[in-house]
Structure 1
Amino acid sequence: MKNLAIQVKGLQKSYKQHQVLKGVNFEVEQGSIFALLGSNGAGKTTAVKILTTLLKPDSGTIKVNGFDVTSNPDHVRQAISLTGQFAAVDEILTGRENLIMIAKLRYLKNPRQVAEDLLKRFGLTEAADRKASTYSGGMRRRLDIALSLVGTPQIVFLDEPTTGLDPEARLEVWKMVKELAAGGTTIFLTTQYLEEAEQLADRIAILHEGRIIANGTLAELKKLFPQAKVEYVEKQPSLEDIFLAIIGKKEAM
């Protein structure tokens, strides 16, 4: 039997007259990387806010780490962390001070040692005593993810974590995400970068106009795409080809 970190059934959410989520269903296995893909306005961030107890659903059953997000939000919060689209670091503080502050807020023993361990893990030891305002985009994002790991959460939500990063910094984040999953952490990732999902995710769901219209491994999604026509070289479809074909934005070749 599968051990599930997240279960979502019949999730609906509206803002006034606009229905954003129209009965969303999916599951995320423990220790896996799950990618939720979708265009701007598809409802990805709304789904993340509901899963992380920042927003209440209109209807549906949503369980995170075995707890209902509506009736047991405190238990959910103890098991998760959330890294949003923009780095939530205090730029006045140094990298070390940021980590110590969060460790103290989580009432952890020996917050200085917690900070040291995370600085080393994320390659920030040399920059530890510089103000975060002097960090590059990639360093700031690394610090942001390090902050989200204070207290060793079981499930990490990354909402478009590489938005605005250069290719080198993006690769750094990808490496960290893979390492986290290899250590048993469940990763829930939203992204607009299809290559990101292709590189990282164990399972991929495509959210379009408020519904999950495809869900599976990359290999399973490729089966939804028409067989490649053999002319001189057989071209395998990329995840971008599959995504655009599924949402009806591109005629299948």
Structure 2
Amino acid sequence: MPATSSNLSTSTNWVPPLTPPADGSSPLLEAHGLERRFGNTRAVRGVDITVRGGELVAVFGPNGAGKTTLLRMLGGLVRPTSGRVAVKGRDLKSSDPEVRRPIGLLSHQSFLYDDLTAAENLAFTARIYGLAEPRGAALESLAAIGLEHKAHQPVRSLSRGMVQRVALARALLAEPEILLLDEPFTGLDAPAARHIQDVLTSRRSKGLGAVVVSHQFAEVWDIASHMMVMIEGAVIRRESPPPPLGSFLPEYESLLRE
């Protein structure tokens, strides 16, 4: 049963599952029946998501759709009210910190120290990860996102877009197999956005996975292997590969009006 606009308007509870890969590869990240309540509010309602090596799942939706809450549950920052998240087959609720090690997370807030330089921020995190050469790892990660020339500037002196890129460099520090990104293109100019697209595309080619939450369709659409739309906490549309953006946008606007 294909997902069409008529399907969606008559039954927003039906969502086609992700198609299992022909090679039967195991998921890097898998979640089933995720729910999150805040008091009487159901922020996330019964969401399933699977990410395998080489896949990038793009998550779209309006403000308040539950996208950030979903990402925080996938990263282990928020515990689901119900449902389960597994990282490489291991339950994320495990007390073993190694379960979370394959995950790199970029959230809305940078959580960088303003008075430290970009390199000092990353070296601090590298030490927490137990990396052998924290300073070298910091400089390498900054170079990967095109900010090696800002390595020794205090974070407070950087633009919003540069702070975003430093935070992304930190998420990439330990070469995570699964990258969870919340609005990674916010505040970026066109060259910086293209650089991040190249980083994500390269990761896909290496068999790494990602979930990207974004309001910016154009930046994510062509590099995604899967897309899903959330409204009022529920997934109401998912496809792989994403359809042509030009044909999808009118459907999306229609969904928002329903």
1:57 aligns with 2:65: no
Q: Which residue of 2 aligns with 1:201?
A: 224
Q: Does 1:91 align with 2:114?
A: yes
Tell me how far apart the structure 1 counterparts of residues 251 and 137 of structure 2 sit (CA, whole Å): 43
Deviations 1:140-163 (A, max 9, x none): 222111111122211111011122
Indicate the RMSD between aligned Cα atoms, in angstroms. Answer: 2.1
- 1:144-194: CA deviations, max 9, x gaps? 111111222111110111223344433332222222323332111001112
Provide the C-alpha distance between the structure 1 equivalents of 2:226 and 2:95, rounded to a whole number of angstroms: 27
Pick closer, same or farther for the CA change 1:57–1:75 going to 2, 3 Å: same
Query: Which of 116, 124, 133 is equivalent to 2:139?
Result: 116
Question: Aligned residue for 1:69?
Answer: 92
Q: Distance in 1 between matches of 2:180 and 2:99?
A: 12
Query: Structure 2 length normalisation: TM-score?
Result: 0.82
Partner of 2:257: 249
The alignment's TM-score, normalised by the length of structure 1, stands at 0.84
- Aligned-residue sequence identity (percent) comes to 28
* Corresponding position of 1:215: 238
Which residue number corresponds to residue 62 of structure 2? 39
CA distance in 1, matches of 2:119, 2:84: 39
* Alpha-carbon distance, 1:6 to partner: 1.8
Instruction: Give unmatched runs, 5+ long, in structure 2.
Output: 1-23
Contact 1:12 1:60 in 2 (8 A): yes
Aligned to 1:186: 209
Structure 1 stretches lacking a partner, 5+ long? 223-235
Deviations 1:176-222 (A, max 9, x none): 22223233321110011122331221100111122111111245x46
Quote how far apart the aligned CAs of 1:41 are. Answer: 0.5
Q: Which moved more, 1:101-110 or 1:161-170?
A: 161-170
The residue number in structure 1 matching 2:16 is: none
Counterpart of 2:74, as a letter, is L
Count of matched residue pairs: 235
Whole-angstrom distance in 2 between the partners of 1:178 and 1:123: 15
Assess, with a 3 A threshold, how the Cα gap between structure 1 residues 138 and 171 changes in structure 2: closer, same or farther. Answer: farther
Classify 1:86/1:176 alpha carbon distance in 2 versus 1 (closer, same or farther; 3 Å).
farther
Residues 161 and 186, structure 2, Cα contact 8 Å, conserved in 1: no
Q: Closer, same or farther in 2 for the Cα pair 1:40/1:155, shift >3 Å?
A: same
Q: Return the offset for 1:61.
A: 2.5
Which residue of the partner structure matches residue 82 of structure 1? 105
Q: Conserved in 1, the CA contact under 8 Å of 2:58 and 2:221? A: no
Change beyond 3 A, Cα 1:196–1:180 = same
Higher Rg: 1
Change (3 A) 1:169 1:122: closer
Q: Deviations over 1:93-137 (max 9, x none)?
A: 112212211111212112122123223322222222222222233
- The question of whether the paired residues in 2 share the 8 Å contact of 1:218 and 1:239 is answered with no
Kindly indicate whether structure 1 or structure 2 has the higher relative contact order, using CA contacts under 8 Å at least 6 residues apart.
Answer: 2
Letter in 2 for 1:237: G
Distance 1:216 1:136, change over 3 A: same
SS across alignment from 1:171: helix
The one-letter code matched in structure 1 to 2:161 is G
Q: CA deviation at 1:248?
A: 5.0
In the TM superposition, residue 45 of structure 1 has moved relative to its aligned partner by: 0.8
Counterpart of 1:228 in structure 2 is none
The residue identity in structure 2 corresponding to 1:180 is R
Tell me which amino acid in the other structure corresponds to 1:208: I
- What residue number does 2:249 align with? 240
Q: Is the 8 A contact 1:138 1:172 kept in 2?
A: no
- Partners of 1:248 and 1:124 lie apart in 2 by 38
The equivalent position to 1:27 in structure 2, one of 50, 53, 74, is 50
SS at match of 2:213: strand
